[in-house]
Structures are given as structure tokens and as C-alpha cells.
């Protein structure tokens, strides 16, 4: 009974891709930035082969790494959570989602106000923590919703829990999701509740993402349609608009995501457990917090021995990322266009360096081939022969 555990360390990029300059990300390297922190201690990721990956020219390589390891290039146009996860699941997005560096156009915002019955504030790219600091008081006074975006394809709505109850905030985001289709089909509408008083506003639990549904079949659909278990932990259900899962387990932070993954590793199932650990990106990458990012990765590393100890002979553990978000890249707090790591641990296989593979979609192919050759077509790299482009 094959079980695959796929863990996305959200935003753990390992170096700028050749086209990074087109995204404003030349020189970005998330792993290199946190490697400089005195708080980074990742001996188990090192043993798996993280520092053996092609292009990672810092850190000490392992003499005999335990995992097959590769550097993955993103074939999709973009550097967003949705684009990255969809490609991991086999769908390559050749056309970038729309972004709004000048804010959303008047017709969109007028429709949003009509549907929600509320006005809006900001409507431009902004840091999520700064926007509630700068607009929180006016929001409390007027009840207008704080709408903002970023370099990513997102429509974010922030509201104080006492001014706009969470259920209403969700309804407002659902209205935005209905409006934002066609040429304005942003990747995600995100509810961002906050609390506190003037000068001390802070985000709180209750974030909810409303993604577009993937336009094509993904590995999640294929697995579910073929009777396999597909368990999503963290925001996986949000990213895939609830599609292709047999079980969804939301989490509030990395610690809970790791705990829930360990719980599933102790259970019997046949198929895929797909986990997203979002704190790396949300709490540390976007806030240029190098030491916080390093501590979070070290915390994950502390739990790797327990994960490896729960692996059964037919199991596979895959550790990867969906994009970068370099906390040392002070020119921006946005995602960065980077290669991502792939570490594949099988209890009965030795480690080997696979070089650079040309799409995140090799992960989908690998999952579906391992689970009884379910993959109906080839996307990107031929995963079985491990052809390299570097």
C-alpha cells in the first residue's frame, strides 16, 4: 500500500532563475539568505542532500545523501503560490495571472461595493501588516473594507473582527471571487481578518483563500478519480478550490501542519498526503525576517527524524517549495522567481543527484507513476529517465 507524503516548504527558493530579472528578482536566493543566520540548524535536511543540490554553492554537502535530490525550474509564467502548486500538481500555466500595480480598475471596485454594501480603502499594492496600521483607524471609523494587492495576482480584503464579523468578511470575499473572472481572474482572493486597537492592530487566525479552480486535470483529480486517498493539510484545499481531495485538514501554523502530517503518517491509507507549511512565506519571507525564517526551518528539521522513522518500505517523502520569498532581498517583500529544491526519500533507495529538472510538474508525474502508473500524459521532464538540463 503506497503512501506518498509531499511537503511544500512554502517559499524556500534556492536561487534566482535565468529569467528572474524580468520579475525584478535578479540575485534573489532564499536559502542563501537564511543560511547566513546563526539560528539555522538543519542537520537532517543536510543529510537528505539539501546542500548537494545543483547550484547550491554554500553549506557543506553530504558525503552520502539519503535522498534523491534535484533543482526544479518553474515552467509556468509567474511566482505565485497558486501557479507553483498547480505546476507541482501537473498543470503548467503558460499565461500569467493578472496583476494590478496601480490598483484595481474603477468598474471592479464599484461592483465590489455594490455587492458588499460597503466602501473600500487603499486599493493599491501594500504590505499586509502596514496596510492595517495605515488604514485601520479609518476602517474602524467608516466600516469601509481595506482592499489591497501585491506583486502577486491577489485581491486581499482586510477587516477588523469587531467591525466586520468573520462570516461577513468571507461573504465579501466570495462576492469578489464572483466578480474577478475572465481577464480579471486573479489567482486568489484572500480574507485577512485583524484585531487590536489603534497603533496595535495585528492579523489574527481566520485567513481564507478563494482560488480559481485549476483549468485542467491535476494529479489530485487523477488520484481521487482512481480511488486513491488525497489528503490536503494546511491551505491545499484553498489553493485547488476544494477540488481533488478526499480529506482536508486546515491548520493555523507550521507547528500544527507538522503535527497533523505526523498523525497521518501513523495512519493507514493509500495515496497522497499533501502538506503546505505557510509560515515560512507569510510570517518571515514577506517580512524580511531572516532569523525567523531560519528558526522556522530549524523547527521543521527537528521533526524530520520522527517523520523518517514513520516511513514504511513502500512510502516516499517528497520535500519541495512553490517559489521563493527571499527575506534578505531588501528591495522587495514579494515572492521571488527562484528554482526550488526537491528531496525524495525512499527507505529502500539511496540518494543520487538528479541535476536540474525543467518543471515542477515532475513531482506530479513521480507521484502518479509510483501510485500504479496513473499518469496519462507527460508534462515537462521525463521523471523516470531523469534527463537533466544542467
- What is the Cα gyration radius of the chain? 20
Given this model, what pLDDT does residue 1 score?
74
Chain segment 290-301, per-residue pLDDT in tens = 999 999 999 999
Distance CA 198, CA 188 (A): 29
209 within 8 A of 239, measured Cβ to Cβ: yes
* DSSP state, residue 287: T
Given this model, what pLDDT does residue 387 score?
40
Mean pLDDT of all residues in the chain?
93
Task: Inform me whether the pLDDT recorded for 388 exceeds 60.
Answer: no
Distance CA 293, CA 171 (A): 33
Grid cell digits, residue 116 = 458588499
Percent of the chain with pLDDT over 70: 95
Q: What is the mean pLDDT of residues 242-259?
A: 96
Distance CA 355, CA 141 (A): 56
161 within 8 A of 205, measured Cβ to Cβ: no
359 within 8 A of 74, measured Cβ to Cβ: yes
Strand segments, DSSP code E, in the chain are 3-9, 68-72, 120-125, 145-149, 154-160, 188-195, 202-203, 208-211, 229-233, 247-249, 271-277, 316-320, 340-345, 353-357
Task: Inform me whether the pLDDT recorded for 336 exceeds 60.
Answer: yes
Q: What is the rounded (10 degree) CA torsion for 110, 111, 115, 118?
A: -20
Class level of CATH domain 106-211: alpha beta
Confidence bin at 57 (pLDDT 50/70/90): very high
Q: What is the mean pLDDT of residues 95-104?
A: 94
243: CB partners within 8 A, 6+ apart: 213, 214, 218, 220, 221
| CATH architecture type of domain 3-91+214-370 | 3-Layer(aba) Sandwich (3.40)
Given this model, what pLDDT does residue 226 score?
93
Q: What is the mean pLDDT of residues 189-216?
A: 93
Grid cell digits, residue 348 = 529502500
Task: Inform me whether the pLDDT recorded for 373 exceeds 90.
Answer: no
Q: What is the mean pLDDT of residues 115-135?
A: 96
Q: What is the mean pLDDT of residues 222-236?
A: 96
Percent of the chain with pLDDT over 90: 86
Q: Higher pLDDT residue, 348 or 271?
A: 271
Distance CA 102, CA 108 (A): 13
Given this model, what pLDDT does residue 376 score?
55
Q: What is the rounded (10 degree) CA torsion for 10, 11, 17, 20?
A: 130
Domain spans, the chain: 3-91+214-370, 106-211
What does pTM read for this prediction?
0.88
Sheet holding 340-345, edge to edge: 247-249, 229-233, 271-277, 3-9, 316-320, 340-345, 68-72, 353-357
Given this model, what pLDDT does residue 371 score?
86
Chain segment 11-50, per-residue pLDDT in tens = 999 999 999 999 999 999 999 999 999 999 999 999 999 9
Amino acid at each position: 500500500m503506497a503512501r506518498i507524503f509531499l511537503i511544500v516548504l512554502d517559499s524556500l527558493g534556492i536561487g534566482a532563475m535565468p529569467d528572474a530579472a524580468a520579475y525584478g528578482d535578479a540575485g534573489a536566493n532564499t536559502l542563501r539568505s537564511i543560511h547566513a543566520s546563526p539560528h539555522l540548524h538543519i542537520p537532517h535536511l543536510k543529510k537528505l542532500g539539501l546542500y548537494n543540490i545543483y547550484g547550491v554553492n554554500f553549506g557543506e554537502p553530504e558525503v552520502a545523501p539519503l535522498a534523491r535530490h534535484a533543482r526544479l525550474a518553474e515552467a509556468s509564467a509567474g511566482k505565485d503560490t497558486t501557479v507553483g502548486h498547480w505546476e507541482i500538481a501537473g498543470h503548467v500555466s503558460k499565461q500569467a495571472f493578472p496583476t494590478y500595480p496601480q490598483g484595481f480598475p474603477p468598474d471592479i471596485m464599484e461592483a465590489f461595493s455594490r455587492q458588499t454594501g460597503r466602501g473600500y480603502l487603499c486599493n493599491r499594492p501594500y504590505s499586509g501588516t502596514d496596510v492595517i496600521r495605515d488604514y485601520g483607524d479609518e476602517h474602524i471609523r467608516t466600516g469601509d473594507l481595506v482592499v489591497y494587492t501585491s506583486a502577486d495576482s491577489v485581491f486581499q480584503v482586510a477587516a477588523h473582527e469587531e467591525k466586520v464579523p468573520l462570516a461577513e468578511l468571507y461573504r465579501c470575499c466570495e462576492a469578489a471571487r464572483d466578480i474577478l473572472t475572465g481577464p480579471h481572474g486573479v489567482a486568489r482572493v484572500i480574507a485577512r481578518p485583524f484585531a487590536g486597537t489603534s497603533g496595535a492592530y495585528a492579523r489574527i487566525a481566520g485567513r481564507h483563500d478563494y482560488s480559481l479552480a485549476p483549468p485542467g486535470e491535476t494529479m489530485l483529480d487523477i488520484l481521487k478519480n482512481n480511488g486513491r486517498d488525497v489528503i490536503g493539510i494546511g491551505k491545499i484545499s484553498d489553493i485547488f478550490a476544494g477540488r481533488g481531495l478526499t480529506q482536508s485538514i486546515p491548520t493555523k501554523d507550521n507547528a500544527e501542519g507538522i503535527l497533523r502530517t505526523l498523525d497521518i503518517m501513523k495512519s493507514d491509507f493509500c495515496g497522497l498526503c499533501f502538506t503546505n507549511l505557510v509560515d515560512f512565506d507569510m510570517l518571515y519571507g514577506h517580512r524580511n525576517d531572516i532569523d525567523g525564517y531560519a528558526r522556522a526551518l530549524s523547527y521543521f528539521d527537528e521533526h524530520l527524524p520522527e517523520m523518517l522513522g514513520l516511513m514504511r518500505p513502500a512510502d516516499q517523502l517528497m520535500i519541495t517549495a512553490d517559489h521563493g520569498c527571499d527575506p534578505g532581498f531588501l528591495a522587495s517583500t514579494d515572492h521571488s522567481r527562484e528554482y526550488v529544491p526537491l528531496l525524495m526519500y525512499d527507505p529502500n533507495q539511496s540518494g543520487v543527484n538528479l541535476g536540474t529538472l525543467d518543471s515542477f510538474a515532475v513531482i506530479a508525474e513521480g507521484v502518479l507513476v509510483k501510485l500504479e502508473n496513473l499518469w496519462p500524459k507527460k508534462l515537462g521532464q521525463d521523471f523516470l529517465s531523469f534527463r537533466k538540463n544542467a
